[in-house]
Amino acid sequence: MIGYEGASRYARLIQALTGDDEIVPPGLLLEVDRPEYSILKNEQLWSLAVRTAASAGNYSFVGIVCNQPQSIVVITKTIVFNQNGSNQPFKVGLVQGPFDSNGITHTRDTRRGTSISLFVTRQQATQYLTGEDSFNVFTGGPPLVLDFPVVLTNTFGWAIQTANQNQIASGLFVGYERSIRPEETFQ
C-alpha cells in the first residue's frame, strides 16, 4: 500500500474497505471510521447502563474493568445520572479491585460474540476514589456527560462513585475493546 509501508494494519484496513491494495482513495480518513467498520479492525463495540442501590453507611460505585491482560478497553463516553432524591456530588476515576459483583457489558455489534469488558459494583464504608474532586449532578436535571476517551488495560477500571454515603450510583458507559498490539505495550 503506497504510503503505508510501515503500518500494515492501516494497509489491511484500506484494502478491506476499498478492495485496492496499492492506492489510497482521496478523502479517506482513518480512525474516524463508520461504526460498522470496527469489525475490520477487530474491535468489539459495547455499552452498559448500570446502577447500585443506596446502602446505609456505605459509598457506592459502578464501573467498567478490563479483565483480560492482552486486551485494551476504551471508554469513549461516561454519563453520570443522579437518581437520588436531592442534588448529589459524584466522583469519577480509575479503580483497581476488589469489587463486589460483576457482569459482562452488552455488545453493540451483533456480528461479534460477547464482550470481555466487565461492569463492576462496590459498596464500602470508606471512599474508594479518595484523590478525585467531586462534582454536583442535579436531581431531575440533565446527566453529566464526560465525552473523552479512557484507555484501560490489565484489571484497571473506570468508575463513578457517590461522594456521600447512602446514595445510588448510576451511569452509562459506551466504548469498545480489542486485543492489544505489540507496539502498544511498554515497560
- Residue 59 pLDDT: 94
Whether the per-residue pLDDT at 187 is higher than 90: the answer is no
Contact status, residue 134 vs residue 128, Cβ threshold 8 Å:
no
Task: Kindly report, residue by residue over 15-39, the tens digit of the pLDDT.
Answer: 877 888 777 777 777 767 778 888 8
Task: Order the strands of the 88-96 sheet from edge to edge.
Answer: 101-104, 118-124, 59-65, 156-162, 88-96, 135-137
Amino acid identity of residue 23, one-letter, is I
Give tens-digit pLDDT for 54-64: 999 999 999 99
CA distance 44 to 18: 22
User: What's the pLDDT band for 104 if we cut at 50, 70, 90?
Assistant: confident
The residue that leads in pLDDT, 54 or 185, is 54
pTM: 0.83
pLDDT tens digits for 75-87? 999 999 999 989 9
Domain borders along the chain are: 8-32, 41-184
For 106-156, the pLDDT digits (tens) are 888 888 777 878 888 899 999 989 888 999 999 888 999 999 999 998 878
The single-letter code of the amino acid at 120 is V
Cell triple for 179: 486485543
> How does the average pLDDT of the chain come out, rounded?
86
Query: Taking the mean position of all CA atoms in its chain, how far away is CA 108?
Result: 13
13 pLDDT more than 90: no
Helices (H) and strands (E) in the chain — how many of each?
A: 1, 12
What pLDDT was estimated at residue 73? Answer: 93
Inform me whether the pLDDT recorded for 171 exceeds 60: yes
CATH class as words, domain 41-184: mainly beta
